[in-house]
């Protein structure tokens, strides 16, 4: 399966089948037929929806309308979608892979689960769907964290500091000898 872990997401979603919860997957890829088969085999045709490719504005509208943003990836670098979900104030459940745990802290900005732990992943989704206070607190903290750490202003400031430090080292004022 692909890096996005949609097979894992569908396996996790089976545990939510008794609820009135829907999963929306936006995007298109070469796994669509496999995902359609997995959805059908698991009896999730009425609750897991493959919307296909959407333009950016529509994707962001869909994201903003969701109660919880879920990222089920097997591997990730620095996922822009996670930053967008946080910036839009969506509570987040994600797998603790790649750069995700460096971007958001479990229990502070999001709820993280190990990839492959479908029960744990589903439990975290359920928690945020049922506990509005926790969902709102995590979403608020994640939005603040993204603004303070990943905004253009924050990135320019960090780059400026790195260049200043490099210049100081080059000029021999940085306490590092070469």
Range of the domain at 34: 6-146
Instruction: Quickly state the pLDDT bin for 171 (edges 50, 70, 90).
Output: confident
Report how far apart, in Å, the C-alpha atoms of 142 and of each of 66, 88, 136 are. 16, 9, 10
pTM listed for this prediction = 0.86
From first CA to last CA, the distance across the chain in angstroms is 48
Has residue 72 been placed in a domain?
A: yes
User: Domain containing 18 — which CATH number?
Assistant: 3.40.50.2000
Instruction: Quickly state the pLDDT bin for 168 (edges 50, 70, 90).
Output: confident
Q: Give the residue from 53, 60, 56, 61 showing the smallest Cα distance to 26.
A: 53
Has residue 93 been placed in a domain?
A: yes
With H, G, I as helix, E, B as strand and everything else as coil, classify residue 69.
Answer: strand
What is the reported pLDDT for 33? 94
- 65-87 pLDDT, tens per residue? 999 999 999 999 999 999 999 99
Residue 46 scores a pLDDT above 80:
yes
Please give the DSSP secondary-structure letter assigned to residue 75.
Answer: S
Has residue 53 been placed in a domain?
A: yes
Do 25 and 6 contact (CB within 8 A), yes or no? yes
Task: Show the tokens assigned to 15.
Answer: 């545990």
Residue 178 scores a pLDDT above 50:
no
Has residue 98 been placed in a domain?
A: yes
Has residue 168 been placed in a domain?
A: no
Separation of alpha carbons 87 and 139, rounded Å: 9
Has residue 156 been placed in a domain?
A: no
Has residue 60 been placed in a domain?
A: yes
Residue 1 scores a pLDDT above 70:
no
Has residue 48 been placed in a domain?
A: yes
Element (H, E) at 23: strand 23-26
- 25-40 pLDDT, tens per residue? 999 888 899 999 999 9
Separation of alpha carbons 28 and 32, rounded Å: 7
- Domain count of the chain? 1
């Amino acid at each position: 399966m692909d890096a996005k872990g949609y097979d894992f997401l569908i396996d996790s979603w089976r545990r939510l089948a008794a609820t009135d919860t829907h999963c929306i997957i936006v995007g298109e890829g070469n796994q669509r037929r496999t995902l359609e088969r997995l959805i059908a085999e698991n009896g999730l045709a009425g609750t897991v929806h493959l919307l296909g490719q959407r333009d950016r504005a529509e994707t962001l509208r869909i994201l903003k309308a969701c109660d919880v943003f879920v990222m089920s990836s097997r591997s990730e670098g620095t996922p822009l979608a996670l930053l967008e979900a946080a910036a839009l104030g969506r509570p987040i459940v994600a797998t603790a892979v790649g750069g995700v745990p460096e971007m958001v802290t479990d229990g502070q900005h999001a709820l993280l689960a190990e990839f492959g732990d479908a029960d744990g992943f589903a439990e975290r989704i359920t928690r945020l769907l049922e506990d509005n206070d926790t969902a709102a607190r995590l979403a608020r903290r994640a939005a603040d964290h993204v603004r303070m750490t990943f905004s253009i202003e924050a990135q320019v400031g960090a780059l400026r500091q790195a260049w200043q430090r490099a210049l100081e080292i080059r000029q021999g004022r940085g306490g590092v000898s070469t």
